[in-house]
Structure formats: C-alpha cells, structure tokens
Amino acid sequence: PQTIYLSEYRVPAYLVDTVDLRFELFEDGARVHSTLAIRRNPESEEGAVPLELDGDSLVLESVALNGQDLAAGEFEDRGDKLIVASVPEKFELSVVTWIEPQNNTRLEGLYKSSGMFCTQCEAEGFRCITFFPDRPDVMARYKTRVEADKSAYPVLLSNGNPIESGDLDDGRHFVTWEDPFPKPCYLFALVAGDLVEKRDTFTTCSGRDIDLRMYVEPRNAEKCDHAMDSLKRSMRWDEDVYGREYDLDIFMIVAVDDFNMGAMENKGLNIFNSSCVLASKETATDAAFQRIEAIVAHEYFHNWSGNRVTCRDWFQLSLKEGFTVLRDSQFSADMGSDTVKRIEDATLMRTAQFAEDAGPMSHPIRPSSYIEISNFYTLTIYEKGAEVVRMIRTLLGPELFRKGSDLYFERHDGQAVTTDDFVKAMEDASGRDLSQFRLWYEQAGTPVLEVTDQFDQGQGVYRLTIRQSIPDTPGQADKKPQHIPFALGLLDEHGKALPLRLSVDEQDAPTERVLELTDAEHVFEFHGLTEKPVPSLLRHFSAPVRVHYPWTREQLLFLISHDPDGFNRWDAGQRLAVDIIQSLVGQPKDTPVDPRLVTAYRHLISDSALDQALVDKMLQLPSEAYLVELASDADVPAIHAARERVLKHLAIALRDDLVACYRRNAGDGDYAVTPEQVARRSLRNTALAWLLMINDEEGRELALRQFREADNMTDRMGALRALVNSEYEADRDQVLGDFYQRFQADPQVVEQWFSVQAASSVAGRLGKIHDLLAHDAFDWRNPNKVRSVVGAFAGQNLSGFHAEDGSGYEFLADQVCRLDDINPQIAARLVTPLARWRKFAPAYRGKMKAALETVRDKSGLSKDVYEVVHKSLV
Ligand code: B3K
Ligand code: ZN
C-alpha cells in the first residue's frame, strides 16, 4: 500500500461548482447519475492536465462531457480512478454508476442497515458512490434527487432543504433536496427508509424558527426525547458561548443500527449510531444519557467547526476534531460539573491517549503521513487535539480566545483550511506569539516534566525546578521543548492556599498561577514563605503531560483532604492508590496494604458534606488499563491481582460504611439525569460492586433486590454488573437469563448484555466469549456487536485477554482476520491491543508478536489492518 505525505499536498487541478445527483434505489442495487460543473482551478499551476476522479467498487455505466457520451478511448476506468485525458477549461461531466448497497459490509459510502439505505462518506466514502475528486478542499453546491419504492421507503432525505417531491410509475416516488452551502463531499448524506418522524422547533438568537426532526425506526419512537432536548441545549449554548447561530431551516438526526463510529456531522442531516442517540430510562444508563448529550452536541457544533469552516486535507483532521471536542467538553462541563468532566477527560487522556502516544501508531495531532486515513481518527487527533486548543485558551484567557475563534470563523467561512490558519487567527486576535506553541502540532509523544523542589529557610524562598523532555516516537527523535502552560498552587501545613509571589516585593499575589514553560529547564522562585509548602501541581490537568514529583504518601494524603482544587484532590487520591497498588505487584499475598488508604477512603465514603459527584470519582481505584499504561514490562495478571487485593482489602475494612453508603443513597424520586442523582446511583452501585467482591450476603441480597425492582437501566445494570463479577455463579446465570429475556428485542440493550459479560474477568472466560460469538443475537456485520464482545474482551477484560497461555492473543488474531474481510475499519481498531506488544513482560510479548504475525500473513489483508500491523512489527 501507498503512503500519503502532507509534504506532497497540491491544490486541486480542477474545482467542482455544482453537483447534481439522482439516485435510483432498488433492492438489488442503486444507479447513481451524477452531473458535475467543473472548471480548471485558477490557483493551480498544473494547467490543462487530465481530469482524475476517485472511485472505489463502482461499476461505470457511462461518461458524458457536455452532454456527449465519451467513446471508449476518451476516458480510462482504472477502478480507483476515472481519467479523462482531455477536457476544456470549463465543462459539465455526467457519470452513471451502479453500486450494491445491500452487499456493502464495509459501511462506507451507501449501504443498507436494518432495511434502510444510509450513507457514511467521511473520510473517503463518497468515492464508493460515484466518481468524484474525493478531497475536502473541493467544495460544491449539491442538488440530490432520491427515487425509491414508496411503501418500503416513504422517507427520502438528503442535505439541505426539500424543493420538490412527487410520485413516479411502479409505486415509486422521489424527493429532491438542495443544499445552499458549498461543502466537501465527505459531508454528503442520503437516507431512505420506513422511519417515524419526531418534530420540534428551535428559535435562534436572531428569531429564525428551525425545524428539528429526528427519524428513527418505529420501535424506537419513544427514545428520542433526550437527544432532542440535548440538541436544543447545544444550539442555545453555541449561540451563547461561541456566538454561532444555525444556518439552514431544517436540522435532521437519523438513527441507524449499523455504523462504524458514534455519529456523523453531515450538513443538516446528522447520522447517528443508534447507541449514541436513542435513550429511555429503562434501556439506557446514566453514562449513556451523558454520552448521547455530548455526541449530539459534538455533531451539532461541527456545523461551524468542520462544515462552515472545513479541512484543507486529512492531515488537518484535528482542525475540526480537536476544536469540536474542546467545544463539546466545555458544553458538558457547563451542563454538569466542571471538575467531574475534567476528571473524565484527564482519565481518558492519561489511560488511553498516553498509551497511544507511547505505542507504535504514535503520531502528532497533525500527522505528516498515513497509509489509511481511517486509522487516524484517534484519541490523539480528537482528545489531545482538544487539549492543545484548550491550552491556547489557557494561554490567551477566555476573552481573547473567543476573539480568536470569532476571527477564525469570519476569516475562513466557506473555506477549507489548515491547523496553522487556526493558530494564526488566535495569534492575530490576541497579539500573542504562538510560534513555539505550534510544536504541539508537529511533535508526537507525551512530554514528561521532572519536578524537584527545595526550600531556603533563611531567605523564605521555595524553588521549583521543572525539566521538560519528550520521548522519541516512531520517526521522531531529539525533540525541541514545547510551550506548556503549567497551573499550580502552594499550600501551607493547614491547607491554606499561599500567595504565589514571584518577587520579594510582589503585592496581592494570586494563590494560583499558570507558569509558562518554554525551555528544557526552568527554576521558579516563590518568595515570602515561612515553611516548606506542599505543591499542588498541574492543576486542572493544564497540559497533556506526565508530571513526576517525589510525592510522599503524607503529602498525597494531605492533598486529598486539603487541596482547594477538586481536580487535584482527585489526582492526589489516584497517585496514592497507584503507589500502593504498584508496591504490591508481584509481592506475596500477605504483604500488608498501607492502612492510611483505608482511613482516607473511610473518610470519603462517610463524609456526606463533600460534593458527592467528586466523592464518587475519588472512590474509583485507578483502572487496570491505567496501571498497565504506567508500567513497563507489564505483567497484567500480576497487576490485576494487586489491584484486586487492594479492592478487597478496602471492601472488607469498610464493609459497614459501604452498606451505610448504599442505604443513604437509595431512592431518588423521579428518575432524572441530574449531577446529584447520577452521583447517588453511581455511589450505591460502587458500594454494591465492592460488597459483592467480598461475597457479602447482605450485599448479595441488596443486589438481587435492586436488579428486580429497578425502574431504570443504571440501577439494573449496576446490580447485574456486580453479580456478574461476583462468585455467586447461580445468581449470575439467573440474572443474565432474566435480563436477556426482558430486553432481547432491543439491540442496544443486548449490546450492553454482551459487554458486561465479555468485559468481566470472572464471567468472561474465553469459552464464554466463544459462546457469545455463537449467540443468535451476535452479528459479525454489526460493529456494535463486534465491539461489545471482541472489543470488550480485549480492551476491558485485561486479565482474560492476557492469559498466560496466549489463548487470548490467538483468539483476537483469529477474529481480526475474520473481520478484515467484512469490515476493515473495525478490524484495524480491534487489532490495537496486540499492536502494543512491546509494552508487556517478555513472557507475554513473544506470544503477542506471534499472534500479530499471523494477522500480517493473512492473504488479502486490507490496507487498514496492514498499516497498524506493519507499523507495530517494525
Ligand atoms: N467526523 C466523524 C468521524 C468520521 C470517522 C470516519 N472514519 C464523527 C465526528 O467526529 O464527529
Ligand atoms: Zn467530530
């Protein structure tokens, strides 16, 4: 396969002004008539070169230039390219292709999902529909006529506004849609199906009424309210916080069951994975409600950050994704708790993005090459990209950042631009120099900050030394220091926040500062202190970096109860727990657990005056995945055992406190997804889970009762998960059976049922995983099902996956090979846990590598899987 380089970017030789599409949809295929108004690009130096259009899996029926059919020698159909050697400066090209959506299992381009037609064009799916210059810097106005059987497909949708509709012969009908905004083809969408419509309206800040519509299968009609409410909140928030008003008269959301990722921001017609949009309290957990709100917001926010201003090329993906993730994260923080959202974001970064950044696929947020762009929809592009934009906001302050965002949208409206254009707008609006900051876009790897300190009693000066280094990553060594905003505070022995005086005579110094690191080493001096303070470092996770500081357990215990910054209280708790668990890895079973952890947890559980949402986060021990990320030569079963040992130790010591916590948090009144209720449900589910870890009879009864009496999925799933992870085998089988009986008609709930088993180190043994794959409800062509069994096993059931005999690795390799022929995008995601083989202890490494080699040797390997496997084996 071919590698594509950013350095080889050239402006397109030809531009497309308008696209006129006509889709004839049938059961055995679809005919696509496309007429493009094309002209030579005045900005291209290439001149009168042949016209090249991209294609993939198309059957070409005819090509005409200015209405004249082209003869065989006048064009060349190379499969992946349609080439017309000689074209005038300005012309109309008409192409007819035949495609087979019903056989499209890759779910790219036009395909069928539960009987309806739908599309996914980002990044390069439009070329599976018709021949086209499939690159985001070719922006055109689209008119789309959809024709299909009227009774099977009463609803026919595309981007923009409907301008015409009517009946045709043979029981068929058509609707024509027109999108007034020029767009790249990756934002094209089409839907045809037998769907129910849910309507609402939103009045924009300038008083325009927008028609809001959701289209879902009839059985899901009652699961739309939450997404619709989330949409309205997002629309209002984007006006209030970013000054962005919606531009079309209609905004549509469609739910489909078979979808490669979460959702897609097609202009005016967002298409969602059903699991990321449909919710009722009976079928969706609190976490799902929150995820839906965030994804609805994310896709809506793309209307400006992505659609009105789009990417010049796919190397600029983080331009829209990083900025939009930041926007949705700010939105979620505003809808709930700032601290809790920050804890969730930092956890994802530190657990999964840091791992990616240290692995074989490590890449900067603006990569400089790729083989398959689908492999670059990563945590780095999305989450680290958002952290980078967040740092710009921290450096500029909220007002100047908003000024920069306004300038960016105004300057580039209707254009396809680069991450550099974004940074330039921020610089121009603020007057700040971000030249060194741009290294965040070019250099991969997670910066490491080594922090040491020293107190000069005589002078009353506290000296903080911070050394920055960035590890080598594939293709990048000897990196330059980056520009890092580093937020900190200092506490005295009573926990009082001290003024941070950077000079002896500084008056009214603040108690929190953002230091700017630009050199490999900095020494900061804080004056006017009488004793050595306790530092509270990298508050709010002010940069996506690792901080190493020789904290003592006393200091961490002190910060857990005294840091005025909620985020860093949580962080101190995590560091303490990590330290304690790490010290037990590989140690004899009777090695004592530091009793101070029990004291700290007892205090947390029983203090109802504390913010319960924060308490709930603080009670969660660092995950196995995080502990693995922190380790080198990771021995997963040993890490699993040490963590479980601490968990059980805590559960035994705090048994009565857990029961009290459970009872104190029981009963919410009417179910609502408020931060307060979410925290209560989560706390009592944590209490249940811990009680069942130690075979507590009262816990077992509470769990069985909660399972039976629950009126919402959070409670039901909390009880189910606790029982599934317990040693009460008969109860486990009983509740799993009941659960399936009750919800078997609901695919989204069946997915949860699969994953609670596959992710369990107790219930998810390999034999069980094979049973799940053989289950009637399992379907290899449905990405959610694959993720909920194979993905959950390899990604969450770490001790099962890393079984010492290597059976988990062989299993994953087999499934990846099998899936590669069906859906290469999903197969390439699934192979990631194996690709990280270098991270693990020698006994595991060799077996992982061998499994990876069997994938490498599969015949007809897709370029998606090829890229991941080869980069990991070099
Ligand atoms: N932009 C889409 C992701 C498309 C992924 C293509 N493989 C969803 C989003 O980020 O909003
Ligand atoms: Zn996005």
**For atom 2 of ligand 1, which residue has the closest CA?**
264
Is the pLDDT reported for residue 668 higher than 90?
no
**For atom 10 of ligand 1, which residue has the closest CA?**
321
**Ligand 1 mutation pick, 106, 122, 267, max ligand atoms within 8 A of CB:** 122
Query: What pLDDT score was predicted for residue 740?
Result: 98
Q: Does 751 sit in the ligand 1 pocket, CB within 6 Å?
A: no
Is the pLDDT reported for residue 608 higher than 90?
no
How many A from CA of 567 to the centre of ligand 1? 30
Give per-residue pLDDT as tens, 302-347.
999 999 999 999 999 999 999 999 999 999 999 999 999 999 999 9
pLDDT > 90: what percent of the chain? 99
| Rounded distance between C-alpha atoms, residue 256 and residue 215, angstroms | 9
User: What predicted TM-score, i.e. pTM, was given to this entire model?
Assistant: 0.99
How many A from CA of 281 to the centre of ligand 1? 27
How distant, in Å, are the alpha carbons of 197, 248, 268, 642 from that of 210?
15, 8, 11, 55
Which ligand 1 atom sits nearest the alpha carbon of residue 298? 11
Is the pLDDT reported for residue 401 higher than 90?
yes
How many A from CA of 846 to the centre of ligand 2? 37
pLDDT > 70: what percent of the chain? 100
Average pLDDT over residues 583-596: 96
CATH 1.25.50.10 domain position(s) in the chain: 744-874
On average, the pLDDT of the chain sits at 98
Q: Does 124 sit in the ligand 1 pocket, CB within 6 Å?
A: no
According to DSSP, the residues that pair with 467 across neighbouring strands are 450, 521
299 flagged as catalytic? yes
Instruction: List the Cα angle 690/801/810 in 5-degree steps.
Output: 165
How many A from CA of 551 to the centre of ligand 2? 38
Q: Does 377 sit in the ligand 1 pocket, CB within 6 Å?
A: yes
**For atom 3 of ligand 1, which residue has the closest CA?**
264
Average pLDDT over residues 231-255: 99
How many A from CA of 263 to the centre of ligand 1? 7
Average pLDDT over residues 544-556: 98
Q: Does 424 sit in the ligand 1 pocket, CB within 6 Å?
A: no
Which ligand 1 atom sits nearest the alpha carbon of residue 261? 5
Could you tell me which residues come within 8 angstroms of residue 654 by beta carbon, excluding any fewer than 6 positions away? 598, 601, 602, 605, 690
Ligand minimally distant from the alpha carbon of residue 377: 1
Amino acid identity, position 647: L
**For atom 6 of ligand 1, which residue has the closest CA?**
122
Query: What pLDDT score was predicted for residue 220?
Result: 98
Average pLDDT over residues 22-46: 98
How many A from CA of 82 to the centre of ligand 2? 30
Ligand minimally distant from the alpha carbon of residue 276: 1
**Ligand 1 mutation pick, 188, 321, 380, max ligand atoms within 8 A of CB:** 321
**For atom 1 of ligand 1, which residue has the closest CA?**
264
How distant, in Å, are the alpha carbons of 110, 251, 472 from that of 220?
23, 19, 49
| CATH class, 310-442 region | mainly alpha
Band (pLDDT 50/70/90 cuts) for residue 272 is very high
Strand ordering across the sheet containing 109-113: 109-113, 116-120, 190-193, 155-158
Ligand minimally distant from the alpha carbon of residue 265: 1
Give per-residue pLDDT as tens, 747-797.
999 999 999 999 999 999 999 999 999 999 999 999 999 999 999 999 999
**Ligand 1 mutation pick, 261, 298, 826, max ligand atoms within 8 A of CB:** 261
**Virtual torsion, Cα 264, 265, 270, 271, nearest 10 deg:** -10
For the segment(s) 448-545, the CATH number from 1.25.40.10, 3.40.30.10, 3.30.360.10, 2.60.40.1840 is 2.60.40.1840
Compute the residue count for the chain: 874
Query: What pLDDT score was predicted for residue 667?
Result: 79
**Ligand 1 mutation pick, 185, 300, 307, 377, max ligand atoms within 8 A of CB:** 377
Could you tell me which residues come within 8 angstroms of residue 643 by beta carbon, excluding any fewer than 6 positions away? 581, 621, 622, 624, 627
How many A from CA of 382 to the centre of ligand 1? 10
Query: What pLDDT score was predicted for residue 546?
Result: 99
CATH 2.60.40.1730 domain position(s) in the chain: 4-194
Query: What pLDDT score was predicted for residue 132?
Result: 99
CATH 1.10.390.10 domain position(s) in the chain: 310-442
CATH architecture group of domain 744-874: Alpha Horseshoe (1.25)
- Catalytic pick from 299, 344, 383, 387? 299
Ligand minimally distant from the alpha carbon of residue 376: 1
| Rounded distance between C-alpha atoms, residue 848 and residue 801, angstroms | 10
Query: What pLDDT score was predicted for residue 593?
Result: 97
Query: What pLDDT score was predicted for residue 607?
Result: 87
Q: What is the DSSP secondary-structure string of 756-768?
A: HHHT-TTT--HHH
Which ligand 1 atom sits nearest the alpha carbon of residue 265? 11
Average pLDDT over residues 423-450: 99
Give per-residue pLDDT as tens, 186-199.
999 999 999 999 99
Q: Does 829 sit in the ligand 1 pocket, CB within 6 Å?
A: no
Q: Does 264 sit in the ligand 1 pocket, CB within 6 Å?
A: yes
Query: What pLDDT score was predicted for residue 554?
Result: 98
| CB of 807 closer than 8 Å to CB of 793 | no
Give per-residue pLDDT as tens, 279-310.
999 999 999 999 999 999 999 999 999 999 99
How many A from CA of 310 to the centre of ligand 2? 12
CATH 2.60.40.1840 domain position(s) in the chain: 448-545
Query: What pLDDT score was predicted for residue 821?
Result: 98
Average pLDDT over residues 103-109: 98
Q: Does 754 sit in the ligand 1 pocket, CB within 6 Å?
A: no
| CATH class, 4-194 region | mainly beta
